[in-house]
Amino acid sequence: MSSPVASRRQYSAMPTAATEDEKTVPLVYDLHAPSKPVADAKTSPIIVMHGLFGSKKNNRGISKVLARDLGRYVYAVDLRNHGESPHHHRHDYNAMADDVARFITEHGLKEPTLIGHSMGAKTAMALALHNPSLIANIISVDNAPVDARLGSDFAKYIRAMKEIDAANVSRQSDADAILAAYEPSLPIRQFLLGNLYRPSPSSTPTTTAETGNKPPTQKFRVPLAILSKALAHMGDFPFRDPAAARFEKPALFVRGTKSTYVPDEALPVIGQFFPRFELVDIEAGHWVISESPEAFRQAVVKFLEPKDD
């Protein structure tokens, strides 16, 4: 039986904006509790981080399963400028790693495991190299500690999302019709449109006269202007010299065999930064967790389950 969401940090429907002098933001999260915990919520928990345009809700299924199978509490977080977490003008891996470090410290978490997909993977790697004492191990899902050119699809998605915002759509089907001209894959369109929300009644007209019997306009939660400016650096990795920063604890790298994000040429660099790394290949594209959830679950459980001395 899957574990319930034990608690959730509640924020307003529209994420708040951080002030100019704030360097970190408080991350909104769901806490998934195991039915048979092996420790309390602060001891050896798992923190799961999504990729670009994702949110904690994308990791709900895998979080529940891992809580069940490992008996550990699982925190699924919204990274800055995503989901319900606050918006901030700065969007890079050092900043996101600092947010997660703040999250660990503020919640008093001991020896957590970081699991990150894509953008979340580079965030996990950056934190591991910058502050290894904060965490026990990491699982990087389809990304590597190297500079790489971000695919042109992401810029295309932002153009489409801006067009949808400008169209003031009231139905998701209308938004999907606009997005379909940019992206033929229905699963990817559904993933992107998961960022739509209806502003609260207090900020939009709700009377019949004001709306003309039309449903309220839908808007994107993610700050498209901020993410558009950040795209040029989303393929970068903030660490260059393995001699200056190395994570000596266990690390699992999971890659999709149909993806190009972790080529064989990157493996030596992974080994330099993460000398105790293990590699698991899963038959999937870049969206490893959603494409092959059972294979991913097995890989994670095998890596994290207690080992015999």
Residues acting as catalytic residues: 118, 286
* Length in residues, the chain: 309
The backbone torsions φ and ψ at residue 81, rounded to the nearest 5 degrees and listed phi first, read 65, 20
DSSP string over 36-97: S-SS-TTBS-EEEE--TT--GGGGHHHHHHHHHHH---EEEEPPTTSTTSPB-S--SHHHHH
Residue 78 and residue 26: Cα distance in Å, rounded?
Answer: 10
Q: Which residue intervals of 152-308 are DSSP H helices?
A: 153-167, 172-180, 186-193, 208-211, 224-230, 267-273, 288-291, 293-304
116: exposed, middle or buried (C-beta count within 10 Å: 0-12, 13-18, 19+)? buried
157, two tokens: 């998605």
If phi over 0 gives left and psi between -120 and 50 gives alpha, with beta otherwise, what is residue 71? left
Contact 175, 218 (CB under 8 A): yes
Angle, vertex CA 71, rays to CA 114 and CA 10, nearest 5: 60
96, two tokens: 């996101």
Please measure the distance between the N-terminal and C-terminal CA atoms of the chain and give it in whole angstroms: 31
Host H or E run for residue 117: strand 113-117
